[in-house]
Structure 1
Amino acid sequence: MLVLQRGEADIVQTPYGRKGFIQGSEMKKQRESQCTQKTISLLSPLGTIQVRGCENGVHTIQILMDVAPAERSGAAPLSRVVNDSPAETSPELQRGVEWLQAYFSEPQTTGSLPLPAFHHPALQGDTFTSRVLQVLLRDVKFGETVSYKRLAEMAGTPRAAQAVGGAMRRNPVPLLIPCHRVISSSGQSGPYMSGKGDHLKQWLLTHERQGREG
């Protein structure tokens, strides 16, 4: 496994590409909180998506739910607006936005696109949340789903299905790390965004199923 140095962060290069899970110390976490963040808003079929990050990586993705998916055509052109007024957008933030644009317009291509580095404390270090999200990102591909129980087994903690649900709720970068692909053992889609975005989860699963079939 090759570790690439980028500024204050260590980015792990795996056989699956640049997954961006930062292996950081407490000092790096403190530096992360002091980095200069920028925000880009992306108009998508889900409504407005805010992508926030710094030169080291993407911090958060927020789906504002300001429009129901049914009210915006999947064929509608995607556009982006820079909210902050930086002289230059960081390459990692730009990479994250480009990946999201491809996800909605040409979803079948996302498997070959590089992901941005991630620079959020929840994805740093060897925590349960970080491990589970890393397994999800690495092993559950576009158009696939996995149960909470099965994901717990894949992460080496077979009795932690309920804790896996908590890890999904703490995912700071939904879509990039596809917590919407984790469903109930019964086959029901289960909650999304603490139950407020269940309709978005259904839309995303349908979008991926159709993209895979197409």
Structure 2
Amino acid sequence: MDSRKIDRLVQIKDEIAALKSEQDRLENEFLLQAKQDLQDTKYKTTAYVSGSGNKVVATTARSVKITYPSRLRLIFGSTYPDAVTEQTTYKLSAPAGRMLAGLWSGEYVEQTLAAAIQSLPVEDKAKKLLTKKLHGINYDGDVRNLQVIGGMDEQQAQEWAYLLQEAAVWDDFRQLLMGAPSGCNDPEHILDLIHGAMVVEETTKIQVVPIQK
């Protein structure tokens, strides 16, 4: 075996390790900056653009970790089989996870999604179309629709998309209460159970967007 190939392979591995270390350091800087920039705002995403047009996008995501699985049956009542998949670990359905994360974090508004859409400051024609497009689930998608169909600027669209998410959480919570057993559908009681049964962790992910050629 040519010893030069061995030396080159070792060199490549060292270079990869050095680049990975530099990548981790740079991404961590962006994560810290994004956490600071997104704190106390209604936004889930922020972007940093270089002079050459490359872009780093930081997006905040949440995960729900169950601390008291036995309380899930009390929380969901008769809808438990639809919301929870029983395995060695407990796995929430996507809608249930979104609802619990919003309720646990206090990020909900006591308003239906339909009412929130009707309060949008857009023309009636656009509002009618947005009623079919907005669901309070896909934040980025709602932002785009509010901009394209509703004619909002980015900041206004992001603020309304956030409100729609909060309203969707309330809609889901209302459905949960309707499916709860008699005597177990008190909102404050269910919220207390939720706060005691889980922890919601928030993470920010970095996406590097190259120049479009």
| TM-score when normalising by structure 2 | 0.25
| TM-score when normalising by structure 1 | 0.25
- Which structure shows the bigger proportion of residues in helix conformation? 2
Asked which structure has the greater RCO (Cα within 8 Å, sep 6+), the reply is 2
Larger-Rg structure = 2
